[in-house]
Amino acid sequence: MAKLVQVAVAILIRPNGDYLLASRPDGKGWAGWWEFPGGKIETGESPEHALIRESQEELGITPTRIQPWIKRRYDYPATHDAEAKTVLLHFFFVSEWQGELQAREGQQFAWQHPQKLNVSPVLPANAPIMQALSLPSVYAISNVQKMGEHTFLQALRKQLDQGLQLLQIRELQLDESNLSQLSTKVLSLCAPYDCRCLLNSSPEQALQLGYQGVHLNSQRLMTMITKPDNLLTGASCHDAEQLQKAQDLKLDCALLSPVLPTSSHPEASGLGWEKFSEMLNGLEIPIYGLGGMRPEHVSQAQASGARGIAMQRAIWIQP
């Protein structure tokens, strides 16, 4: 059996969202491939400790703000320059550090825009990680029905100014013509910003109304045979079977709900973080927790292996 190697991996993130990749130096297996800085966890060492030690050894910096994220297992085949092995990668976000970056192992550095990678090839185990990083940590869901259109659009503008990047329009109460009118307003408001909009409806209607994406409810998800063409596609999931379906279709993201009790579904008790985390184990597509989420839950969701959180209420309420 191939040996299991535990690895601490540092995703250094700048305030604008760009992250650092480094090339693997000559002399190591998979030389020339791009990876996040990091390295093997020593026997008896905690992943956090390994992360700090490797950052010092490879980059000459000391992380001061660390957020645990996904753990990912991957089987590497034997190659011309490396033996077969199974890695368990412990990914961490590092958003603050002390010291200046230095290439202490002769590696090259490249800061990457999450949606426009300009180096390759990246280590194969990282493919789903890059995919997840191309989406933001917060997914907003519209709430025109409760807030009224005027108040919602005002709150949306505020969130766009603060960097909102992913929005679902979910207004099931609207007839076709009202939905079309609202869509025109929302899409033109979002156009100057770097925010992608998904319509909770059918792929056909999303395309017809000019959305970049569609969000499938769980019923629609289960009837899909392939991922809709030319649309960023998300889906709502409430159980393991639906999550698996979203993954089999290679959707861009999925919501898992309800994580916590929520006023929109008072009858449901919520999965709780432990069960939530268990259900995400082994999934490769980016997942957002939904249900009772507030902005401060992002770190808990990420520590559970999610990309982040989705909010329909708290995001529109200004502190």
Ligand X SMILES: Nc1nc2c([nH]c(=O)n2[C@H]2C[C@H](O)[C@@H](COP(=O)(O)OP(=O)(O)OP(=O)(O)O)O2)c(=O)[nH]1
* Residues near ligand X (CB under 6 A): 5, 7, 9, 28, 35-36, 38-40, 54, 74, 87, 89, 123, 125-126
Contact 159, 190 (CB under 8 A): no
- For residue 70, the partner it binds in Mg ion, ligand X, none, with Cβ less than 5 to 8 A by kind, is none
- For residue 7, the partner it binds in ligand X, Mg ion, none, with Cβ less than 5 to 8 A by kind, is ligand X
Among positions 150-189, residues that touch Mg ion (CB under 5 A) are none
- For residue 126, the partner it binds in ligand X, Mg ion, none, with Cβ less than 5 to 8 A by kind, is ligand X
Q: Is residue 39 close enough to count as binding Mg ion by CB under 5 A?
A: yes
Nearer to Mg ion, 30 or 273 (CB): 30
Nearer to ligand X, 39 or 289 (CB): 39
What is the rounded distance in angstroms from the CA atom of residue 8 to the CA atom of residue 71? 10
- Nearest residue to ligand X by CB is 39
Stretch that binds Mg ion, among 35-43, 136-144, 172-180, 189-197 (CB under 5 A): 35-43
Q: Is residue 291 close enough to count as binding Mg ion by CB under 5 A?
A: no
What is the rounded distance in angstroms from the CA atom of residue 71 to the CA atom of residue 295? 23
Q: How far is the CB of 49 from ligand X (least distance, A)?
A: 13
Q: How far is the CB of 37 from ligand X (least distance, A)?
A: 6
Q: How far is the CB of 121 from ligand X (least distance, A)?
A: 12
Residues touching Mg ion, count (CB under 5 A): 1
Q: Dmax of the chain from CA atoms?
A: 63
Q: How far is the CB of 17 from ligand X (least distance, A)?
A: 18
Nearer to ligand X, 40 or 65 (CB): 40
- For residue 13, the partner it binds in Mg ion, ligand X, none, with Cβ less than 5 to 8 A by kind, is none
Q: Tell me which residue has tokens 């690895």.
A: 7
Q: How far is the CB of 307 from ligand X (least distance, A)?
A: 17
Tell me the C-alpha to C-alpha distance, in Å, between residue 73 and each of 87, 165, 240, 265. Answer: 6, 29, 19, 35
Q: How far is the CB of 38 from ligand X (least distance, A)?
A: 3
- For residue 88, the partner it binds in ligand X, Mg ion, none, with Cβ less than 5 to 8 A by kind, is none
Nearer to Mg ion, 5 or 303 (CB): 5
Q: How far is the CB of 8 from Mg ion (least distance, A)?
A: 9
- For residue 9, the partner it binds in ligand X, Mg ion, none, with Cβ less than 5 to 8 A by kind, is ligand X
- Nearest residue to Mg ion by CB is 39
What is the rounded distance in angstroms from the CA atom of residue 170 to the CA atom of residue 167? 9
Q: How far is the CB of 107 from ligand X (least distance, A)?
A: 10
Binding positions for Mg ion, rule: CB under 5 A: 39
